[in-house]
């Protein structure tokens, strides 16, 4: 089955298309892509997504899936909204 593994870092996006055997899981796809090693990521601690939904490394894949290697947020979105509201009130 054909799948794609994507990692977007601050300056660019890197993607690898793979042909994997039926029944492969997300962790195997990430390992086969080589993206974790290329960017010095700890493969055991990665957060993964499939089409915008969080998934576990043990999630079985289907043909055509796109697996995203997720980066941690720089700031919690709720905290960012609070900061903006405080700045708007102080003006």
pLDDT tens-digit map of 11-20:
889 999 999 9
Confidence band for 25, pLDDT divided at 50, 70 and 90 = very high
Residue 30 has a pLDDT of 94
For the chain, list the domains and their CATH numbers.
Answer: 2-90 (3.10.20.30)
Q: Tens of pLDDT along 60-83?
A: 999 999 999 998 778 888 998 999
Q: Return the exposure string of 33-67: e unless at least 16 CB atoms fall within 10 Å of the residue's CB, then b.
A: bebbeeeebeeeebebebeeeebebebebeeebeb
């Amino acid at each position: 089955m054909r799948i794609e593994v994507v990692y977007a870092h601050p300056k660019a996006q890197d993607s690898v298309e793979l042909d994997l055997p039926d029944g492969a899981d997300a962790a195997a796809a990430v390992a086969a892509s080589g993206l974790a090693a290329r960017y010095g990521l700890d493969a055991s601690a990665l957060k993964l997504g499939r089409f915008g939904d969080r998934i576990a490394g043990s999630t079985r894949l289907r043909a055509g899936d796109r697996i995203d290697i997720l980066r941690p947020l720089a700031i919690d979105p709720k905290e960012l909204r609070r900061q903006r509201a405080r700045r708007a009130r102080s003006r």
